[in-house]
Structure 1
Amino acid sequence: MIFSPLSAVVPGLSALSEQALKRLNAIGAGWVVVSFCEAVAYVTLALAIANQASGGWVLTNALLAVCVTVIVTRAGFISGARLAGDLYTSLGNALADTKLSWFTEAFRAKVSVLAGQGVPGLMSIPAHQLQLILHAPLLPLFLMGGIGLIGGWSVAVVAGLLLGGALTLLVFAQRKLKFVDGERQQHELEVAQATREFIDHLELLKTAAGPKRSMERIESTWRAHERALAKTNAGALVATFITSVAAMIPVIGLTGFLILDGSIGSAQLLALVLLISRASAPLEELALLGAHINDLQAGLDRYKQIADAPAVSEPSADEARTPQGSRIEVVSLNYPPILHDLSVEIPEGCHLLVQGPSGSGKTTFLELLARFDDPAQGAIRMGGVALQGMSYKQIVDRIAYVGQEPIVFTGSIADNIRLGKPLATDAEVEKVARQVLLGTLIDSSELGIERAVGHNGALLSGGERQRVALARALIKNAPVLILDEATSALDEKTEQEIALMVGALPQTLIVVTHRESSIWLPSNRLSFEAVQ
């Protein structure tokens, strides 16, 4: 486990990978060197002024400081890009393993904010945030040595006290800013969630509430976020004013002390004013550090929450077992509060009709069969092997699932169907598309199966979206086909033709429908009772 001293300032950094922490430690050390080189350059200049000496070493040290700064900044940009790549990769891996039951609206909003704002913001850690966190406080400390060297340690003590007083004001300003800025983070999540809800359900909101009322909910969230931003800006204004005052205190205070003391010459006075001025300058940079750290911590917290979300465990390649056939056994299944002590056998090739009122657990049962989640107790076996003992690829290859809400991605009809079989030929795609009665849609455009479906299938009707989702499942040719209200948007005649076509397939068929069930020719039935 790699330790990073930076975690003391931003605790969330400990959530990063060891490789990322190593890079941050290296860049952090680079900013320490930059602070030292810049302090040496300023002290050399001050000594030249105080002693009225030539500026040869001044130029050399200044060039050295500039070169080191450029190198560390460049390395910071490169490290930031790599950090973003690592975070996106880690985020993708975490989401791929996360239980699908965990994808609530709130969780999706966190993912959206993290991917769109959090990760890009975290890219700035090496090149910008570490500069604020390390360079800004260290440079004044290094310059104190130069002040002591030129003016004596009594002057250095006075300068230190003045800088300490300014820092106290700065800490007060940061705490005030952190207090008023905390509410903004929560409102950003709420805005992201409300915006997703508005976009996803725009048609329903407009038809149910009208153009004006459909905006009321999201506008309320926007106004709350606006008020939070206003509070943050007001806090930032106060913090900036206090910091500006704090930055002047050391310069005015030390100049006044030296003039009243009268023990040093004008050249030394100018040199000391130069050093104390540079030592005070970073205080202004630190004015908004509290807000920057808040943003970083919030982004890292969201990243950790997503990365630590419950995952579906998967056996190693050596431990994974291959099922023999597609016979499904459900033994003493418990998934509170919906399913209790459920046992059922689904023979290979049977047509199982799952019945029951809404909310009785039908969809939950189907999702457990596809291993969207694991039961609290009991087991689900396929071909004699528990689902937990199979690799996820084995499950995906053996089960095709079509849910209540058809998922259609932006692209073409072929793009969406090929998700079920990436290497499918155009002929295979068109064949399965026509099987689900998309022939009229294909023939209506010269593009055929390459016809665009619009943003998330916006150019398709509800029934067409369902048939695209069904075609995507059928092209997999999986031994088990699960349909959860997958034809609810079809007219009666089209649904009957689809049911007849699916019923002729050799796969095991598990169907949930609230419409006429006889068209699916069920050989077995499973009934769920209403949950009390």
Structure 2
Amino acid sequence: MTSAAPRRDGTTAVFPGQARRRLLGIGMGWALVGLAEATAYTVLALAVAHRGGILPVLVAAACALIATVLCSRSGYLAGARVAGDLYAALGGALARTKLAWFTADHRALVTRVAGLGVPSLMGLPAHQLQTFILAPLVPLLLLGGIAIVSGPIPALLTAGLLIVALLAQFVAQRRLAHADADRHRAEHAATAATLELVDHLELLRTAAPPARGLQRAERAWSAQERAMSRTNGAAAPATFVSALAGVLPLAGVCVYLAATGGFADPLAALALLVLTGRASAPLDELALAGVSISELRATVSAYGEVVAAPSLPLATGGRAPRDNAIELRGVVQPPALDGVSATIPEGARVHVAGPSGAGKSTLLGLLMRFDDPARGEITLGGVPLAELAEHELAGRIAYVSQDPVVFSGTLASNIRIGRPEADDDQVARAARLAGLDGVVDCDAEGIHQQVGRHGAALSGGERQRLALARALVKDAPVLILDEATSALDMDTERGIATRLADTAATVVFVTHRDPGIWSPDHTIDLNGGAR
């Protein structure tokens, strides 16, 4: 079974609840700012039309200014907190996401969302919401002000002119949205191509001349450049339409005043023009914000795709395993595994055998619950893995992959990832048990020596042994090794296997070398069952 975060309609519906509440609060604040601003303009127009005093105008303007400053400040603070909420929800979603989802395209998507998308959303409360709320709200409120100052007919006329201008904006923005969608697709492809280039730079440099090695990435970059040009081409007519739309209401009111003799009372005409000019001003803002509106929609959509990635259901119970024996019952996981059944006693040495593509790594992933089997069941100590709490399962299993992950820092800091509270003696013991004696002894810093950026100071075999030490310091009752010694020579591998022979942990391993080095007492042959 799989589960995924529900997909909802609406721009911010994919946001966590706390972030939505923050945005709702700031949105209500901007609505109050719009009301204060429309009131201030209406008071100004009344003062102009009727030769009123200056004090009410100053008071109304001061109230509008204070409301704007307070809301802007709150928007900046809320933006930082919203980003924190989004990152927290993103991290939680990624922690539960099925590992099979992390394809090259999805990795590029996560990189873009975390590195660019969420930071850009920090400006949503203070900037985008201000435009999205004030731009339509202030004109609507000012129509009421026009009705108060000049009467219903000018208000209706202004409303009609604003509607015509908005329709023109809508047509322009539709074309802009289509062009911008193409740009986002090209941007995603360019990010994926760049990640591929960085990840495989060594291969590209040795397999092809530099110019040819860059061809795949350059094609994606060129497509992104062409898409950006199309977006810019669509933005130009949108901006032109915006200028015409901004002028249309004011020009229409001037024609109306000239036709009806409204200029005979210049103060009343000035008051009407002031309100009409302010009501039409946001139309220009909406047009200029067209790209950012499309950007926001695409960013939120990308964020929603990541947090809605297929994930494993949370544990349904709090049962504790009675021991560390593992049992597989009719496990099916297409396309490789079909009805695998086996029993792994506690403390056993189990070799998972089979040709390439038989599903060895898939089976190991199921043992660690990187995914749930399509059919069948896996139990640990008599408890189905799906019913074990995350901390319970993580505390009982240690894992070493063929391609170890090494972080920048020291040997000790990398090993302690397996057990953060481990002291230096425990770290050093795990390092020597994993065959890192030579690495530790050759540097005066010992386990505190730097390993370089992502372990660049270590050889491939040393990185594998570091990953093994990280698993051993955890002292978990089950140790899973997926080609964990493939970069080591036979003598080094034999030495590590000899050291591990005295551990009480269950060892489940995959190797393409002689499995006899590890003295297995059980074999799961994915071509012929368990024995």
- TM normalised by structure 1 equals 0.93
User: Which residue of structure 1 aligns with residue 74 of structure 2?
Assistant: 75
Q: Which residue of structure 1 lines up, in the alignment, with residue 502 of structure 2?
A: 504
Does 301-310 or 420-429 show the bigger shift?
A: 301-310
| Contact 2:340 2:526 (C-alpha < 8 Å) held by counterparts | no
Moved more, 416-425 or 34-43: 34-43
Partner Cα separation in structure 2 for residue 266 and residue 512 of structure 1: 91
Size of the alignment, in residue pairs? Answer: 521
Matched with 2:449 is: 451
Runs of 4+ in 1 over 4 A off after TM superposition: none
Aligned-pair Cα RMSD in Å: 2.0
1:251 deviation in Å?
Answer: 1.6
Structure 2: gaps (5+ residues): 1-6
2:42 alignment counterpart: 43
C-alpha distance in 1, partners of 2:216/2:527?
36
- CA displacement at 1:145 relative to structure 2: 2.1
SS at structure 2 position matched to 1:273:
helix
Paired residue for 2:345, among 338, 344, 347? 347
Q: CA deviation at 1:191?
A: 2.1
SS of residue paired to 2:12: helix
Query: Could you list the per-position Cα deviations for residues 345-366 of structure 1 after superposition, in whole angstroms to 9, with x for gaps in the alignment?
Result: 1122221111111111000011
User: What per-residue deviation string (whole Å, max 9, x for no partner) do you get for residues 493-516 of structure 1?
Assistant: 222222222233222111111123
Distance 2:145 2:437 in 1: 82
Whether the 8 Å CA contact 2:150–2:268 is kept in 1: the answer is yes
SS at match of 2:370: coil
**What's the CA shift string for 1:283-318, capped at 9, x where partnerless?**
1110143332322222222232222223223336xx
1:256 CA displacement? 2.6
What is the aligned partner in structure 1 of residue 195 from structure 2? 196
Percent identity reads 46
| Residue in structure 2 matching 1:368, options 366, 369, 383 | 366
Counting only pairs closer than 5 Å after superposition, residues 18-417 of structure 1 correspond to structure 2 as 18-263=17-262, 264-315=264-315, 319-417=317-415
Q: What is the alpha-carbon distance in structure 2 between the residues aligned to residue 244 and residue 495 of structure 1?
A: 74
Give me the whole-angstrom Cα distance separating, in 2, the residues matched to 1:361 and 1:178: 45
| Deviation digits for residues 213-247 of structure 1 (CA, Å, limit 9, x no counterpart) | 22111111111111111111121122111101111
Deviation at 1:168, TM superposition (A): 1.4
Which amino acid is 1:389 matched to?
Answer: E
Contact (CA 8 Å) 1:174, 1:288: kept in 2 or not? no
Secondary structure in structure 1 of the residue aligned to 2:342:
strand
Aligned to 2:3: none
Partner of 1:3: none
d(CA) in 2 for partners of 1:204 and 1:24?
Answer: 47
CA distance, structure 1, for counterparts of residue 14 and residue 79 of structure 2: 16
Q: Distance in 1 between matches of 2:390 and 2:257?
A: 75
The Cα offsets for residues 445-488 of structure 1, whole Å up to 9 and x where unpaired, read as: 33322222233222322111111111111111111111111111
Secondary structure, in 3 states, of the residue corresponding to 2:209? helix
Cα distance in 2 for residues equivalent to 1:465 and 1:337: 31
CA distance in 2, matches of 1:322, 1:255: 80
Between the aligned partners of 2:431 and 2:213, the Cα distance in structure 1 is 36
Contact 2:418 2:474 in 1 (8 A): yes
Structure 2 counterpart of 1:510, one-letter code = V
Label 1:210 to 1:426 Cα distance change in 2 as closer, same or farther (>3 A): farther
Task: Report the CA distance between 1:375 and its aligned residue.
Answer: 0.8
Measure, in 2, the Cα distance between the counterparts of 1:79 and 1:301.
21
**In 2, Cα distance between the equivalents of 1:226 and 1:202?**
23
Secondary structure at the residue paired with 2:289? helix
Whole-Å Cα distance in 2 between the matches of residues 163 and 385 of structure 1?
Answer: 67
Comparing 209-218 with 466-475, greater Cα deviation is found at 209-218
Amino acid at match of 1:487: T
Shift of 1:525: 1.8
> Cα offset for 1:332?
1.0
CA offset digits 1:510-529 (Å, max 9, x no partner): 11111232211222222223
Aligned counterpart, 2:4: none
Secondary structure class of the residue paired with 2:311:
coil
- Once residues 288 and 429 of structure 2 are traced to their aligned partners in structure 1, the CA distance between those partners, rounded to angstroms, is 61
Q: How far, CA to CA, are the matches of 1:411 and 1:458 in structure 2?
A: 11
Q: Counterpart amino acid of 2:406? A: V
TM-score (norm: length of structure 2): 0.94
Secondary structure of the corresponding residue to residue 463 of structure 1: helix
CA distance in structure 2 between the partners assigned to 1:23 and 1:11 by the alignment: 16
State the Cα distance separating 1:343 from its structure 2 match.
0.7
Distance (whole Å) between structure 2 residues aligned to residue 156 and residue 369 of structure 1:
71
Is the 1:174–1:289 contact (alpha carbons within 8 Å) kept by the matching residues of 2? no
Work out the CA distance in 2 between the residues paired with 1:516 and 1:100. Answer: 29
